[in-house]
Structure 1
Amino acid sequence: MSDLWLYLHFPSLQLDCLHSKPGQPVVVLNKADNRIIQLNQTAYQCGIRSGMGLGTAASLCHGLQVAEYQQQLESDKLKDIASWLYGCTSDIALWPPDGLLLRVHPMLSLYGGLQPYWLAVKQRLQPLAFNHTYACGQTPLAARLLAREGLKLIDEEPQKLHEAIRHCPLSATDLSTKQQHQLTRVGVRRVGELLAISTTELSQRFSHDLAIYTGRLSGHFSHPQIFYYPPPHFRQTLTLLYGVENSQRLLSPIQALLLQLEHFLRLRDKLTTRLLLRFVHQDNSTAELCIESAQAEYQASFWQSLIVLKLEKLTLCEAVHAIMLKVTELQDKPGQCQDLFAGQQGRQTPLQLLAQLQAKLGKEALKGLNLDDDFRPEQSTGYTEPDFTGTSCINRTLPSMRPLLLCDPPTALNEKVRLLHGPERIETGWWDSKPVHRDYFIGRCTKGRWLWVYRTPQAQWFIQGVFS
């Protein structure tokens, strides 16, 4: 089987990454020469074209939104796309800042042919909504050349691929302007005319670099690739078109990031209990917001409900220009073991309710109760982390006839009480310098309340608790 490659070209990658309002004219400006290099459809309808100066573009469209070109942003987004495509194809090479190269021939036996393979890749790219062109080729440079020319050619017939390359102009190649000018002076204007010249003659008459490029384009020289392997953790950054100062307006771009996270976790059958949102300001300073859940989840709707509660209390000191979502702690998805006949018990599990309350009130505001093996009422209970897993079950016999409500500290008894049960002596604590010597009674006051009272050796009376 001959080699077959597929090149994906993303001509407006940074523009597609920007979070902007629908119908808003947006362009990406190359600051080096102050010219437009990327523009959306709305800007095109206003008469703006690629290569136009910023002054001319601004005069054609009032309210034009301009973003400065960032090559690193495109290179990072290229890695995100490669990670996304890794679920359907294995060998992916990065061609920054705007291209991906896929080695096709090892995958054809798995998918049963080129068309089913391309259908899988196409369906995989569809949710990303990135503008792209594509083409197949027998060499990496051939596939890149045809894709950048915008042919959208999916074919594995060598003769058809070779014929398509021959008709491409030199401007579609990766040759420098100087090399193209040298070739034009001798009458070479198309790739087919260039390939007709032997690599030896090219090396002698022009340069060694031109001969290597031509040899790799035709397949006479090998062109090794370094394939990309996605990281095991999730990390996505979304650049905003303008600074956002209201925390509630961050919900829309955050939702886009959460949907990407949901796809990431669903494909890997993983869950997470912790998200980290990092807000990037104009001076590259950052502010972080950590969202935790008592129950591991993957659904974007669940995490969004927690983030809404967190943002209600968040005050932004500066405008946010980019948002990064990072997840490093992943858990395996446990098997479901619900009772078949129990039916749906509610829309929320106890852990989901706990996560929402913690997001609203703060993690320190919620506590669980813990029973200690101590006969002193004030020492018999304490606070602990909330636990709905059933691992903190009580494995000892609890004292009977104890009130639900305890007075902390005990209050002096200043009313008449009729004693109905007792005494029960509690004498302990001599080892931790908190000794008690008390006689406990259950009584009823004149108002009808049932009280748990005790008497000290000094004949002082106190109310320890009230029965419900």
Structure 2
Amino acid sequence: MLWACLLLPQLALDAVLRRSPDPDAPLALVTGPAQLRTLHAVNPAAARAGLRAGMRLTAAHALAPDLALAEYDPQAEARWHRFLAAWAYRHSSLVSAQWPGCLVMEVRASFRLLGPWPRFEARLREELHGLGFGHRIALAPTPRAARVFAGLRDGLALMQGPAMGEVLDRVPIRRAVLPGDTGERLHRMGIRDLRGLRGLPRDSLRRRFGLSVLEHLDRLYGEADEPLSYYAPPDHFDERVELGYEVESHTALLFPLRRLIGDLCTYLSIRDGGVQRFLLRLEHEQGHTDVEVGLLSAEREPAMLFELTRNRLERVSISAPVVAVRLLARELPPFVPATRDLFDLRAQQALPWPQLRERLRARLGDDAVHQVTPTGDPRPERAWRRLRGDERTDIAPAPARPPRPAWLLPQPIPLRDPRPRILSGPERLESGWWDGDDARRDYYVLETSQGQRAWAFAAPGERDHWMLHGWFA
């Protein structure tokens, strides 16, 4: 097996920066009691101003008066850790997030699908960069070795056990991720690297530092199995973004909305599924406003879902300032991509029918766009019905009939023309006796005095008192 470690050195900070409209402005995460606030992490702009983690907040304000602050939230950091584990699950079926600040994943089984390691690594880096998370990646035959190598040098990849052991022997003792403060204590004792540590008597190490150090060494070098707990994806999507300020316009909500939709689509690709209904919740200081987005079929295209949600959002009146945005999706049916021809002649700018249909529904309303299907009833006003969503029916083909108009009036009206000319007919219709709506009519194709082609009927055997029922194009 081969294990890749994705080290996330500033996970909590990146989670805040990816939601910031200006990530290049100085920003820091703060923690600690109100009387003793300290910086937990700083972004590159704040570091260039002389700020660093562990600095007092008062000193930081003296160096950078325009510093933006965000509260460090361990629960939010754990939530984003799980989100990235879900993202990694799309590349490997064995993903573990049991160690804080990193992910380990078995990658050898994915080479046949995603290509050799250089191509696989480039794909991981591209997607992590698109998600907005800084990272360091390393590869090794054991998960602990990959974790150690990721902290030593970004991009280090060793695929053979002997080569891995040689590099591990030269790892500085303080960077070997030993349990607790064992690395610092050993360094003060004069042990500088793992080769020196492994040369010590094991019984002495166990008595002085505990069994955990020996277990760490054995699992690091692959001499003992690693009992990892593996990630399993949840059955629903629920993500929330706190805005940090009050928003009263739709435009200011588009940036967090785009991030939420992107995260939702990443989650859907992990499950190899789509979404057919989800809820956008605008949270206020008191109460919330819900924006429901329903689709006729499952989709997971980010641009399409963002456009549909934005159209729905713009039709909602914001009654109070918005302080947070939450996206909930629980109906996640399987996703079936639309079939396309190998030589597709559709114009580059044209939308496929499912996306065009959803865009029209978002702009015009849920009931404004629908499909129709024949019912087999000979009465024109009952010959078709609306379909809901992607509903399908098995209707026997209609018998051969004379031409019918494409424009059928809701109700027949008298034809106001003194001298219509009969082009064809009659077509006798006698039906409806079983449901109390008996219809006995003779239908004709007429040409009006203005040259229009009309579809009209009269009582059986008569050729006057025409009732107009439709127009031919």
State the TM-score bracket (shorter-chain normalisation): 0.7 to 0.9
* Alignment match, 2:168: 162
Contact kept in structure 2, 1:27 and 1:43, CA below 8 Å: yes
Alpha-carbon deviation of 1:51? 1.1
1: CA distance between counterparts of 2:455 and 2:140?
88
* Alignment match, 2:14: 16
> Letter of the aligned partner of 1:274 in structure 2?
Q
1: CA distance between counterparts of 2:110 and 2:314?
51
1:136-190 CA-to-partner distances (Å, cap 9, x unmatched) read 567544543453456764445245423432x2327x745435x678768x83675
| Aligned-partner SS, 1:147 | helix
* Alignment match, 2:31: 30
Alpha-carbon deviation of 1:12? 0.7
Residue of structure 1 aligned with 2:42, choices 18, 39, 42: 39
Residue 276 to residue 59, structure 1, CA distance change in 2 (3 Å): farther
1: CA distance between counterparts of 2:44 and 2:147?
25
* Alignment match, 2:278: 276
Contact kept in structure 2, 1:452 and 1:464, CA below 8 Å: yes
* Alignment match, 1:330: 334
Residue of structure 2 aligned with 1:361, choices 360, 364, 375: 364
> Letter of the aligned partner of 2:276 in structure 1?
R
Residue 287 to residue 52, structure 1, CA distance change in 2 (3 Å): farther
1:144-293 mapped onto 2 (5 Å cutoff): 144-148=147-151, 153-155=156-158, 157-158=163-164, 160-165=166-171, 167-169=172-174, 173-176=177-180, 187=189, 190=192, 192=194, 195-209=198-212, 212-213=215-216, 216=219, 222-228=225-231, 235=237, 237=239, 239=241, 242-243=244-245, 244-256=247-259, 272=274, 274=276, 276=278, 278-279=280-281, 281=283, 287=290, 289-292=292-295
- Is structure 2 residue 93 aligned with structure 1 residue 93? no
Q: TM-score, normalising length from structure 2?
A: 0.72
Q: Mean Cα displacement is larger for which, 366-375 or 6-15?
A: 366-375
Alpha-carbon deviation of 1:36? 2.0
Alpha-carbon deviation of 1:10? 0.7
How many corresponding residue pairs? 450
1:79-99 CA-to-partner distances (Å, cap 9, x unmatched) read 443444456556432234311
1: CA distance between counterparts of 2:190 and 2:96?
31
* Alignment match, 1:128: 128
Alpha-carbon deviation of 1:453? 5.8
> Letter of the aligned partner of 1:169 in structure 2?
R
> Letter of the aligned partner of 2:11 in structure 1?
L
Alpha-carbon deviation of 1:131? 1.7
- Is structure 2 residue 399 aligned with structure 1 residue 396? yes
2: CA distance between counterparts of 1:440 and 1:182?
100
1:367-409 CA-to-partner distances (Å, cap 9, x unmatched) read 344444445454445444488999879522335576944353x
Contact kept in structure 1, 2:405 and 2:455, CA below 8 Å: no
Q: Which runs of 5+ in 2 are unaligned?
A: none
Alpha-carbon deviation of 1:301? 3.4
2: CA distance between counterparts of 1:236 and 1:206?
43
1: CA distance between counterparts of 2:43 and 2:304?
33
1:187-206 CA-to-partner distances (Å, cap 9, x unmatched) read 36756565554342234345
Q: TM-score, normalising length from structure 1?
A: 0.72
Contact kept in structure 1, 2:281 and 2:327, CA below 8 Å: yes
Contact kept in structure 2, 1:9 and 1:148, CA below 8 Å: yes
Residue 94 to residue 266, structure 1, CA distance change in 2 (3 Å): closer
1:288-333 CA-to-partner distances (Å, cap 9, x unmatched) read 5424255x66543344443342232134455253554757223344
Q: Percent identity?
A: 24
2: CA distance between counterparts of 1:336 and 1:370?
24
1:256-306 CA-to-partner distances (Å, cap 9, x unmatched) read 5555676777899x6746363544747897845424255x66543344443
Contact kept in structure 1, 2:283 and 2:326, CA below 8 Å: no
- Is structure 2 residue 308 aligned with structure 1 residue 306? yes
Residue 249 to residue 293, structure 1, CA distance change in 2 (3 Å): farther
2: CA distance between counterparts of 1:271 and 1:217?
37
1:190-234 CA-to-partner distances (Å, cap 9, x unmatched) read 565655543422343454555555655566655322344557x78
Residue 454 to residue 259, structure 1, CA distance change in 2 (3 Å): same
| Aligned-partner SS, 2:351 | coil
1:43-86 CA-to-partner distances (Å, cap 9, x unmatched) read 21222211123343344333433333333433343344344445
1:230-251 CA-to-partner distances (Å, cap 9, x unmatched) read 57x7858474653554333343
2: CA distance between counterparts of 1:311 and 1:248?
10
2: CA distance between counterparts of 1:30 and 1:175?
25
* Alignment match, 1:52: 55
> Letter of the aligned partner of 1:98 in structure 2?
G
Q: Mean Cα displacement is larger for which, 301-310 or 146-155?
A: 146-155
Residue 417 to residue 369, structure 1, CA distance change in 2 (3 Å): farther
Alpha-carbon deviation of 1:15? 1.9
| Aligned-partner SS, 1:432 | coil
> Letter of the aligned partner of 2:120 in structure 1?
A
Contact kept in structure 1, 2:89 and 2:270, CA below 8 Å: no
1: CA distance between counterparts of 2:185 and 2:167?
26
> Letter of the aligned partner of 1:36 in structure 2?
L
